Amino acid sequence: MRSWTLIVLVACACVGKAPATAAKTTTTITKTPEVPARPVCITPSEDAATIGHASSDGAQVQYCIGETDCFAVDLGSGTYHRLVEPPKRAAPRARVEAITPKLDICTGRTCTALAAKVMPSAAAMRAATNADGTFAVVLLGDAPKGAGYAEVWNVAKSKRTATFRYARGDFRCGEVAMLDNTIYLSAAQCGQPAARAGLYALNGRRIANVGGKDFGSFGSAYVQVDGATWAFLEENANQLVLQDVVKGKVWKTIDTSSLFEAGGAKMGTPGESALVRLSDGRIIVIAGSPATGTIATIDIGTGEVTVMPPPLCK
């Protein structure tokens, strides 16, 4: 009997070359370094530290040191928050648009042009209007020589109703505003941080000096308290007066020099501090140098002053 042996051959038929091994791809992830948040603190400075954009919102006060270092302060807790941009105030009902050679008094989108009638050849004019835009005050003349004067205009009639001079000795270069229908005119020693202000009626009659005879007004920090009563901060921020702007009577003077006592000073740098009124009637003073950012809360009824220093950067 025959025996058969079956041999099975298994062959591999490969077509072409074996595929090459895929190259490894390495992805490098670069992390952007985190920018540390700016600390919520104030750096003391011997340089100018003018307080700007001061306003209040309920129990908070907002302000900037210069134009970019801005804060919101919760007065109840004393907590400070840094603001990305300066706080914005509500736009007034009436405004002045004075860009040479234009001088317009505007309410909303309606404007009345006065430049051609006031003084067509004037190189620049400073002006103010009341809340309704019905009257305007324009400063003209050669102020540095003591020849500066103000004109009062009825806007609707485009008619000048009064003219008066405002220089007080060496205080000659004027800045003007309107507190309701009372004219506020602060005259400075031209180029120097010292000024004295007066209150005037619409007919040009002088009502009174702001704050009294030697009350400094450089920086023009003031705020309405109630009706005809306004609060004015002395230029060195060491005194606050409450004055009737219609009758001119100063009915209260409050010492605010405690703002600067922690640094051993009795007053601040002229024109740097700001004034804000809270909705509950209290007055806030925000100090410039040398007590930059220090807040004084004033109860105008009792005259009590409460000082809150800011967090200082180490």
Q: In this predicted model, what pLDDT tens digit does every residue of 234-245 receive, in sequence order?
A: 999 999 999 999
Q: What are the phi and psi torsion angles at 259 (to 5°)? A: -55, -35
Average pLDDT, the chain: 87
Q: What pLDDT sits at residue 44?
A: 73
pLDDT bin (cut points 50, 70, 90) of residue 33 is: low
Please check the confidence at residue 39 and state whether its pLDDT lies above 50: yes
Q: Where are the domains of the chain?
A: 91-209
Residue 130 buriedness (CB in 10 A; 0-12 / 13-18 / 19+): buried
* Segment 56-74 mean pLDDT: 89
* Segment 243-252 mean pLDDT: 97
Rounded-to-integer distance, Cα 274 and Cα 285, Å: 6
Please check the confidence at residue 176 and state whether its pLDDT lies above 60: yes
Q: What pLDDT sits at residue 10?
A: 43
* pTM metric for this prediction: 0.84
* Segment 264-278 mean pLDDT: 94
3-state secondary structure of 272: coil
Q: What pLDDT sits at residue 15?
A: 46
Residues 6+ apart with CB under 8 A from 243: 199, 208, 210, 211, 229, 230, 231, 232, 249, 250, 251
* Segment 112-132 mean pLDDT: 81
* Fold held by 91-209: Methylamine Dehydrogenase; Chain H (2.130.10)
Bigger pLDDT: 217 vs 15: 217
3-state secondary structure of 146: coil
